[in-house]
Amino acid sequence: MKVAARIGIVVVLLVCAAGVVWMFTGSASDRMVGTGNVAGGVAGVLALMVAVAVLWPQITRRRAGAAAPVEAGRVPAATEYLAEETLRYWREQAKDRRITTPSPAAVRWSWASEEVAVPAGELWPEGTSTGSGGPVSGSERSVLTAGVVTQLRGQLYDRLGGARTRMVVLGGPGAGKTGAMVLLLIDILEHRPAGSGQPVPVWLTLGGWNPDTTPLRDWVAATLTRDYPGLAAREYGGGSRMAAELVRTGRVALFLDGLDEMDPAVQGTALQAIDRDAAGLRVVLTSRPEQYRAAVEDGRLYGAAVIDILPVGLDQARDFLLAEQLQPHRHRWQQVIDHLRAHPGSAAARTLTTPLALTLARDTYARADPADLLAK
């Protein structure tokens, strides 16, 4: 029944009840109850009984539905629906945001400083097993402390050990931390076998969460129900129950973007809540370095691999700017790159060190001479 209809019935009930009360408890001048009043009172009581008879089964069903558990057999289908929709959406977003068009910039990462990260050896002591199944050797441990973001899944995410996977990606404005997480999410989903039950990475923007008022898992379930309305379909039980079940059973991995976008007063509280409430779930978190450094004074994400996104090197910038360029534009960009190599201290060389700057430059001079960059 629609909300407006329910409100209408409630109003009628209240009016009828008020009329009945007034008729039998009116003023002294109206002590005698006439035939018409009796008839009206009886009609009001009948209306009240009919309305209650109509509404009561619905209320009972709604309460029973809210208390009923999600059918286990529906969970795998809901998981696959979530995986398919997430991959479709983020492939489109990656293209629209120019993260994968024409190709991703080969941004590098390295292990963060000990101000915010424990040494890598404490997370992977030599001889312990990793998510890849084998023991960690000294040489392998060194590989785990550096790499390129296009290989984050194989280099880091898959090696962290199942549900213990916790990563923090730090980078300044335009450094590529969000792009790195997008590429990681897509890579995970593209390598995830259908029907495997492996956790589905889901994107959540932390700026929309207040840890002081809303438990993490409740917020995640509500956000998934909003972003993936199919999870609220009747075949999955309706409402936010299926989303909550996917979180409860570890069918999702939380990709939490933008700790720095939260109110600074709650950033430390947010880390504490994530550490506590995301137990058993894979977590990837992005933040600017300064905000994360301040947040860890009040809260910690224990067991997390914390990495810094590094500036784009000249060779990586060259590959990005020349990718799929046609002549004569390719030749013009090559001249720009040669100039940058010869003048590493120039304004252009200092600027073209982030994926954002490279993308803006490529798009701005798509039909103009990029040599104009060198005059600025």
pLDDT tens for 110-149 read 999 999 998 887 776 554 444 445 554 554 444 467 778 8
Query: Does residue 28 sit in the same domain as residue 107?
Result: no
Query: Does residue 258 sit in the same domain as residue 281?
Result: yes
Greater pLDDT, 107 or 220: 220
Query: Does residue 183 sit in the same domain as residue 262?
Result: yes
Query: Does residue 342 sit in the same domain as residue 256?
Result: no
Tell which of 19, 38, 67 closes a domain. 67
Query: Does residue 214 sit in the same domain as residue 117?
Result: yes
Range of the domain at 342: 314-375
Confidence of residue 62 (pLDDT cuts 50, 70, 90): very low
> pLDDT at position 193, please?
94
> pLDDT at position 2, please?
46
Q: Residue 174: is its pLDDT beyond 90?
A: no
For residues 152 and 109, what is the distance between their CA atoms, to the nearest angstrom? Answer: 9
> pLDDT at position 6, please?
55
Q: Residue 295: is its pLDDT beyond 90?
A: yes
| Confidence (pTM) | 0.75
Query: Does residue 176 sit in the same domain as residue 240?
Result: yes
Query: Does residue 197 sit in the same domain as residue 125?
Result: yes
> How high does pLDDT run on average in the chain?
81
Q: Which residues contact 44 (CB under 8 A, 6 or more apart)?
A: 16, 17, 19, 20
Confidence of residue 212 (pLDDT cuts 50, 70, 90): very high
> pLDDT at position 78, please?
93
Query: Does residue 32 sit in the same domain as residue 96?
Result: no
Query: Does residue 239 sit in the same domain as residue 347?
Result: no
Q: Residue 273: is its pLDDT beyond 50?
A: yes
> pLDDT at position 103, please?
76
Number of compact structural domains in the chain: 3
Query: Does residue 229 sit in the same domain as residue 100?
Result: yes
Q: Region 208-232: what's the mean pLDDT?
A: 95
Angle between helices 177-190 and 75-96 (to 10 degrees): 140
Tell which of 309, 334, 358 closes a domain. 309
Confidence of residue 36 (pLDDT cuts 50, 70, 90): low
Q: Region 249-259: what's the mean pLDDT?
A: 96
Beta strand extents in 114-191 (DSSP E only) = 146-148, 166-170
> pLDDT at position 7, please?
59
Q: Region 305-328: what's the mean pLDDT?
A: 89
> pLDDT at position 13, please?
55
Confidence of residue 66 (pLDDT cuts 50, 70, 90): very low
Measured between its terminal Cα atoms, the distance across the chain in Å is 65
Neighbours of 96 (CB within 10 A): 10
Q: Which residues contact 53 (CB under 8 A, 6 or more apart)?
A: none
Confidence of residue 8 (pLDDT cuts 50, 70, 90): low
Tell which of 309, 328, 354 closes a domain. 309
Q: Which residues are 108's β-sheet partners?
A: 148
CATH code for the domain of 201: 3.40.50
Q: Region 286-312: what's the mean pLDDT?
A: 93
> pLDDT at position 338, please?
92
> pLDDT at position 56, please?
43
pLDDT tens figures, 80-100: 999 999 999 999 999 988 888
65 contacts 236 by C-beta, under 8 angstroms: no
Query: What percent of the chain is predicted at pLDDT more than 90?
Result: 43
| Token code pair at residue 145 | 């402390």
Query: Does residue 169 sit in the same domain as residue 86?
Result: yes
Query: Does residue 107 sit in the same domain as residue 197?
Result: yes
> pLDDT at position 324, please?
85
Q: Region 362-371: what's the mean pLDDT?
A: 88
Q: Residue 187: is its pLDDT beyond 70?
A: yes
Q: Which residues contact 127 (CB under 8 A, 6 or more apart)?
A: 135, 136
